[in-house]
């Protein structure tokens, strides 16, 4: 089962993990991205491409389900403005055993970074700058090419 | 053809969406970028360096040399930075 959501609302970690555990899996793995406050960042703003983003995340979830034996995949991404310490993204995977769950989770966050149309803007007080992509993100996504 | 702009491309152009009717000679995304750059100083600033741009046709990522074909929606934006 796949759950994908793009929402300005906060991510409820305990609920999402419990829902994955309830799929009858022996193991649940997750990744949570949190807004960092380094470099004087006071808030982060996420923009996306409505319509395309949902499709891109569903395609990634389906690719993970096809590659590993999974009971469930959850991909949640917040959009809009969020403060330091708030959750930006949640990836959860449920599988019979740890290896599938952990590998699929790593695959999903690595590929999300390069394959989903989101753009981040960092706020420092009243001034904002668009975040530049990092080449290490492209390399991390490349490593999953079969 | 519907055009969508995101992030700093949207800010520089000044709008997030516009509808255009490019001439026949505009065959691929790179042609479209060059043609759009002549529309206003904002377009020119946003689209000056194609190496900084990425594109999607009908909500699928494509390289800048992708033919437009009968594209209904073309989006231009910076490299993605989600997650």
Q: Phi, psi at residue A117, to the nearest 5°?
A: -80, 80
Per-residue tens of pLDDT for chain B, all 83 residues: 999 999 999 999 999 999 999 999 999 999 999 999 999 999 999 999 999 999 999 999 999 999 999 999 999 999 999 99
Q: Do B83 and A109 touch (CB under 8 A)?
A: yes
The vertex-B15 CA angle with B19 and B36, nearest 5°, equals 55
Considering the entire predicted model, what is its pTM? 0.94
- Higher-confidence position of B19 and A138: B19
Packing angle, helices A52-67 and A98-115, rounded to 10: 150
Structural domains of chain B, with CATH: 2-77 (3.10.20.30)
The predicted complex's ipTM stands at 0.95
Looking at the DSSP assignment, which residues form a beta bridge with residue A73?
A2, A93
- Tell me which chain A residues have a C-beta less than 8 angstroms from the C-beta of B75: 49, 52, 117
Q: How far apart are the C-alpha atoms of A49 and B71, rounded to whole Å?
A: 17
Residue B5: closest CA among chain A residues belongs to which residue? A49
Q: Do B8 and A130 touch (CB under 8 A)?
A: yes
Beta-carbon count within 10 A of A127 CB: 9
Q: Do B4 and A46 touch (CB under 8 A)?
A: no
Q: How far apart are the C-alpha atoms of A98 and B57, rounded to whole Å?
A: 38
In the structure, what pLDDT confidence band is assigned to residue A112 with cuts at 50, 70 and 90? very high
How high is the pLDDT of residue A9? 97
């Amino acid at each position: 089962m796949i759950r994908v959501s793009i929402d300005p609302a906060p991510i409820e970690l305990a609920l999402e993990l419990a829902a994955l555990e309830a799929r009858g899996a022996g193991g649940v793995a997750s990744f949570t991205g949190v807004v960092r406050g380094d470099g004087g960042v006071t808030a982060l703003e996420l923009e996306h491409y409505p319509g395309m983003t949902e499709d891109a995340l569903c395609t990634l979830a389906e690719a993970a389900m096809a590659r590993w034996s999974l009971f469930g995949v959850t991909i949640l991404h917040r959009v809009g403005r969020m403060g330091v310490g708030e959750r930006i993204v949640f990836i959860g995977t449920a599988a019979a055993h740890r290896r599938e769950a952990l590998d699929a989770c790593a695959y999903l966050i690595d590929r999300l970074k390069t394959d989903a149309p989101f753009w981040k803007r960092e706020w420092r007080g009243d001034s904002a700058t668009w975040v530049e992509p990092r080449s290490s993100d492209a390399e991390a996504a490349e490593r999953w090419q079969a | 053809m519907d055009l969508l702009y995101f992030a700093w491309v949207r800010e520089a152009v000044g709008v997030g969406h516009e509808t255009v009717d490019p001439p026949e000679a505009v065959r691929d995304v790179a042609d479209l970028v060059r043609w759009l750059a002549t529309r206003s100083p904002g377009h020119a600033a946003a689209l000056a360096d194609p190496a900084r741009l990425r594109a999607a046709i009908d909500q699928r990522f494509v390289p800048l040399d992708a033919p437009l074909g009968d594209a209904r929606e073309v989006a231009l934006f910076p490299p993605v930075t989600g997650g």
